[in-house]
Amino acid sequence: MGVPEGFEEFVAGASPRLLRTAFLLTRDRGHAEDLVQTALARAWRAWRRVQGDPEPYVRRIMVNTYATWWRRKWRAEHPTDVLPDAGGASPEAAVDQRDWLWRALGRLPRRQRAVIVLRFYEDLTEAQAAHALGVSVGTVKSQTSKALARLRLDDTITREEVWR
């Protein structure tokens, strides 16, 4: 089957405009090129039935195809700058993290350390920790917030190593 009459001229003239529309739809150059190619392939099969200006017809194919792609559950790969976690951490990493946390807790002021130990190691509620320390619930909340902020900013180890 040969190329339909006028199809090559249409593709040469309309491709930049179609690609711009496809890019605005997909926001990705590669997907936009795929969308234009798919739309042109579908238009090629129906070219003999197209009457008048074919560009609106091809744009309609693009929009419908894009909508179909959008409805699919899987939308292809999504490249990222950061690779996902490769798996479970090594036992050594867990020991290193516990060691860091033990040292970081030792650098906290006594009240903040007590609040962290009661809340997160002893798993007490704010009210139970407040009762155990003889302070208000608000004091437990503020000391917990300050202690966690201080642990996050501890410069003896990078955040990536602590929160992986």
pLDDT for res 14: 92
Domains: count for the chain: 2
pLDDT digits (tens, 9 = 90+) for 61-72: 998 888 787 665
Let me know whether 106 and 142 are in one domain: yes
CATH number of domain containing 12: 1.10.1740
Let me know whether 96 and 60 are in one domain: no
- What does the mean pLDDT of the chain come to? 82
Let me know whether 55 and 102 are in one domain: no
The last residue of a domain, from among 43, 71, 99: 71
pLDDT for res 162: 45
Let me know whether 37 and 95 are in one domain: no
pLDDT at position 161 over 50: no
Let me know whether 152 and 121 are in one domain: yes
pLDDT digits (tens, 9 = 90+) for 71-129: 655 556 667 777 766 666 677 877 877 788 888 888 888 888 888 888 888 888 999 99
pLDDT for res 133: 86
CATH number of domain containing 95: 1.10.10.10
Let me know whether 99 and 62 are in one domain: no
* Percent of residues, the chain, with pLDDT higher than 90: 30
Let me know whether 101 and 67 are in one domain: no
Q: What confidence category does residue 42 fall into, taking pLDDT thresholds of 50, 70 and 90? A: very high
| pLDDT, greater one: 161 or 109 | 109
pLDDT for res 18: 94
How far apart are the C-alpha atoms of 44 and 58, rounded to whole Å? 10
The last residue of a domain, from among 71, 102, 117: 71
Let me know whether 21 and 63 are in one domain: yes
Q: Is residue 78 part of a domain?
A: no
pLDDT for res 1: 61
Q: Is residue 81 part of a domain?
A: no
pLDDT for res 77: 63
pTM, whole model, 2 decimals?
A: 0.44
Domain, as residue range, for 67: 7-71
The last residue of a domain, from among 40, 71, 102: 71
